[in-house]
Structure 1
Amino acid sequence: MADPTSRAAALLKEHRDSIDRLDAILVYTLAERFSQTQAVGKLKAEHDLPPSDPNREATQIARLERMAQEAGLDPTFAKKFLNFVISEVIRHHEQFQK
């Protein structure tokens, strides 16, 4: 039987490997999300639409807060995260307007 320190080290490695996989999923998911929002930004610029849509943003934030609650994730954190992402998207959309 393995000693407790070796078992803890093995479990720690498993958790860290899982975290590494999830980090990769997050990065690639964010990249795909920004690819889509850039397409939206270009479309908005082509049709002289404003870079920000406050109603859509509020709806998305409320949706994410509900999903976070259901998933056991702190809704305040989820809201902060989405607000950060939205601010970056708007910044990109504003660049297309120039």
Structure 2
Amino acid sequence: MSTDPRAGEAGQYVDSEILQDLLSIRSSIDNIDAALVHLLAERFKATQRVGVLKAKHRLPPADPGREKAQIARLKQLAQDAQLDPDFAEKFLNFIIEEVIRHHQAISETSGGEPDPNAPFDWADHQ
């Protein structure tokens, strides 16, 4: 039985060799999760710049043609990576919805300039 908090409940039920394998895999998952967060932050920083440009030039927050192309591209990438393409589509749709919402806010509240007093929201940075 392990007292390592990273083991979770499994530490009570498996021998130490299996537990070490489990902890190693979980460590990899934790590293991947951290990388995903940082990549999403970078993506949202770029899309905030897109939102500012759209607002300055009075472009609509949504771009259905671009969104459709991005979804198709991401679904193909997912399929190539042996990831469920429907999951990839849902994930991108969630991001797109947040981006559009924040592009609308940029356009409506600041004439194209992000509000420096607004709280940070990762979705502002798509």
**Which residue pairs with 1:9 in the alignment?**
19
> Aligned-pair RMSD on alpha carbons?
0.8
SS class of match (1:48) = coil
In the TM superposition, what whole-angstrom CA distance separates every residue of 1:15-62 from its partner, at most 9, and x where no partner exists?
000000000000000000000000000010000000000000000000
Deviation (angstroms), 1:87: 0.3
Deviations 1:53-88 (A, max 9, x none): 000000000000000000000000000000000000
How does the TM-score come out when normalised to structure 1?
0.95
Q: Which one has the largest radius of gyration?
A: 2
Partner of 1:80 in structure 2?
A: 90
2:85 & 2:63 partners in 1: Cα distance? 22
Unaligned runs of 5+ residues in structure 1 are none
Partner AA of 1:56 in structure 2: R
Question: What is the distance in 1 between the residues matched to 2:74 and 2:56?
Answer: 29
User: Which position in structure 2 is the counterpart of 1:51?
Assistant: 61
Which has the larger helix fraction?
1
Aligned residues: 95
User: Given the two structures, how large is their TM-score scaled by the length of structure 2?
Assistant: 0.74
Aligned sequence identity (%) = 58
